[in-house]
A and B are shown apart, each in its own frame.
Chain A
Amino acid sequence: DTGVSQDPRHKITKRGQNVTFRCDPISEHNRLYWYRQTLGQGPEFLTYFQNEAQLEKSRLLSDRFSAERPKGSFSTLEIQRTEQGDSAMYLCASSTRDGRNSPLHFGNGTRLTVT
């Protein structure tokens, strides 16, 4: 399967701990996106990359959140000093070059539970 892969699928952590999620996009997709989804809501945009460059960050992405895509392939999303409000599904998506006429392909997400 050559779809978007996310790891881990589930993560349970205690408040105050740091967590890191990984996303492997579809090969040769140079755009990579992170979204967050809470129960009953649609996904919320967090940030996106064109190759290794982070082009936009949502105001939702507080200083505790950092995303990287060091070699323009896989990406990581780190949350420092987790809070209970960080509990959500974190979704990764990828697309080819210009997003306007290129569908996003999503992974099945990492579900984070902060206790």
Chain B
Amino acid sequence: SQTIHQWPATLVQPVGSPLSLECTVEGTSNPNLYWYRQAAGRGLQLLFYSVGIGQISSEVPQNLSASRPQDRQFILSSKKLLLSDSGFYLCAWGQGPGANVLTFGAGSRLTVL
């Protein structure tokens, strides 16, 4: 069966510090991978998606970047965090063309102080 792991679950970072959130998927190959951010009272905002190794599409200009160094690994990064980067970050995977059914990770709660 497929599983998705996301870490860390919670982190508190000072403004200007770097960020690295990791996501891995097991039990499938060549998944579509996604990073979403969820702010309080707002819908999930798609940040990045990837259909293959090294292929990253950005949905919104921002202080973040994503990388896919391996087929089932997706990393969200920032060189210098802003207060506005605080939020709940969710990794998800789906199979096939388009999004199809997405399976989400447990999320990473980021607080920037």
A is bound by B: no
Interface residues of B (CB under 8 A from A): none
